[in-house]
Structure 1
Amino acid sequence: MDLGIRGRTAVVCASTAGLGEATARALAAEGARVVICGRRGDVAKAIAAELPEAVGVEIDLTAPDGPARLIAAAEEAFGPVDILVLNNPGPPPGGSSDISDTDIVAATESLVLPHQRLVSLVLPGMRERGWGRILALASIGVVAPIPSLALSNIGRAALAGYLKTLATEVAGDGVTVNLLLPGRIATARTVQMNTYRAAKEGVGVEEFAARAQAAIPVGRYGKPDEFGAVAAFLCSEAASYITGTALRCDGGAVPTL
């Protein structure tokens, strides 16, 4: 299937590893011009060098001027942004009884504010041109809060509420807004969480990881490139009638429709 995004400019946040990198590579494979970004500028540039048409940008999106500098770099390289993929590392694990006011503010500042700032910078142009894709790489915690990830559950739910509201407002302008919710995908974040949960339960990491895998109906962890393919589709011309949706990519792990 031709996804219809050849020549489109895509900014993929936190794309120097994990799901962000997988999404960036999938978009590049479909002919999009991709901006790779993250705090590790050398890694961003190295990944960009492997792709047909891409640039790497060193950026801290939690800095007040980070979003503006990223979009300026993207426009300088490729012109107006057509596809914006929102993504960032999750907050540290912990239960609800362990968090403070400061923790909640920090989670919101990292998971909501940078994304809202990015959207505000690219949305006017998308609406004017009558085409745009905004996709957040979130978590199944949006629909089924994950134990020991209280801060992530709070921040990502807030982001989901903002994006769902936005989707309704801009749907008539040719701009879609969606969330893609990963379950257990084989990334460093999953290893981190397995290590944390294993320690909490007093079992070995390998034992906990095996139990977690067995609980997934498809019987395995997801592959980053599988997730990236779904993300690329949601950013495509073919997905023009999908908006305001939170799609799970979890191997059937969440036991609800």
Structure 2
Amino acid sequence: MNIVLKGRKALVGGASQGLGKAIAMQLAASGASVTIVARNEEKLKKVLQELPVTEEQQHGYIVADFSDYGRYKAIMNDYFSSHSVDILINNTNGPKAGTVSEQTDADYQAAFSLLFQTVQYTTSLALQAMKEKQYGRIINLTSRTVKEPADNLALSNTIRAAVVAWGKTLARDVGKYNITVNNILTGNFDTERLRELFTLQAQAQNTTLEAITQKAEADIPLQRLGKPEELASLVTFLASEQASYITGTSIPVDGGLLKSI
């Protein structure tokens, strides 16, 4: 299958590293012009230099901190006042780890703004042009923990589940405009974020990062962590014409880790 995204414009959140970067790279390799979003300008500039330009695309970046919702809204308003996108990849950095009993009202509010409000607001801006064009692809990166919650990720479990329900509802609302909406339930991928979480687990259990990683790999039927490029391939397919009849889905990409159906 040859996926061609030439002429398409994409906006990818959390793209300075990890899954977001891999997605941006793959979309660009398929011909899309990609704008990457993250809070670290130095990292964004490095990724920008790596993005393929085989179709003479015009790539760009936006410096924005998802955790500062007020400022984030202003930056997105400014961008969409003069730009439109065909492909929107909603991907943010995660909230702090911890159990339910360790979280405060303020923690839940901050997580809601970080994981849900930024996604909903960015999508509302992108939808204006998508509806006019009668075309759009919206892909939300969430987590497998919306199906099987992790004890130490109370904030992420809770708010990402809301994103999945919202995405399903949105898909039914905008399908008539030839806009698809899909959720990706990510598993354990070899990224900086996962190493941070594993390090916290190791500290809490008075063990090593290597031991936590080995146990995690042993629990996965494929016996390894995922590669970011593997998830990026699915996202690129969902962003293409070939996936035009797929919408409202929540697709686990976790090496078989989920035990539920």
- 2:188 equivalent to 1:184: yes
**Partner residue of 2:75?**
69
Unpaired segments of 5 or more residues in structure 1? none
SS, match of residue 64 in structure 1: helix
Which one of 109, 128, 132 corresponds to residue 132 of structure 2? 128
Instruction: State the shift of 1:184 in Å.
Output: 0.6
**Partner residue of 2:37?**
37
C-alpha distance in structure 1 between counterparts of 2:116 and 2:79, whole Å: 22
Identity of aligned residues (%): 38
TM-score (norm 2): 0.93
- 2:108 equivalent to 1:104: yes
Instruction: State the shift of 1:168 in Å.
Output: 0.6
Instruction: State the shift of 1:71 in Å.
Output: 6.1
Residues 12, 84 of structure 1: 8 Å contact kept: yes
Residues 80, 126 of structure 2: 8 Å contact kept: no
> Counterpart of 1:6 in structure 2: which amino acid?
K
C-alpha distance in structure 2 between counterparts of 1:21 and 1:71, whole Å: 23
SS, match of residue 89 in structure 2: strand
- 1:148-187 CA distances to partner (integer Å, 9 max, x unpaired)? 0000011101111111111110112100011111111000
- 2:91 equivalent to 1:55: no
Residues 139, 184 of structure 2: 8 Å contact kept: yes
- 1:233-254 CA distances to partner (integer Å, 9 max, x unpaired)? 1111111111111111100000
Structure 1 residues 181 and 71: CA distance shift in structure 2, 3 A: farther
Unpaired segments of 5 or more residues in structure 2? none
- 2:161 equivalent to 1:157: yes
Instruction: State the shift of 1:228 in Å.
Output: 0.9
C-alpha distance in structure 1 between counterparts of 2:12 and 2:77, whole Å: 11
C-alpha distance in structure 1 between counterparts of 2:174 and 2:76, whole Å: 23
SS, match of residue 135 in structure 1: strand
44-53 or 98-107: bigger deviation: 44-53
- Root-mean-square deviation (CA), in Å? 1.5
> Counterpart of 2:70 in structure 1: which amino acid?
P
SS, match of residue 92 in structure 1: coil
C-alpha distance in structure 2 between counterparts of 1:42 and 1:73, whole Å: 20
**Partner residue of 1:23?**
23
Residues 68, 121 of structure 1: 8 Å contact kept: no
- 1:106-153 CA distances to partner (integer Å, 9 max, x unpaired)? 110110111111011011211121110010111111221122000001
Instruction: State the shift of 1:227 in Å.
Output: 1.1
Instruction: State the shift of 1:69 in Å.
Output: 2.5
> Counterpart of 1:69 in structure 2: which amino acid?
I
Number of matched pairs: 255
C-alpha distance in structure 2 between counterparts of 1:67 and 1:25, whole Å: 25
C-alpha distance in structure 1 between counterparts of 2:109 and 2:224, whole Å: 35
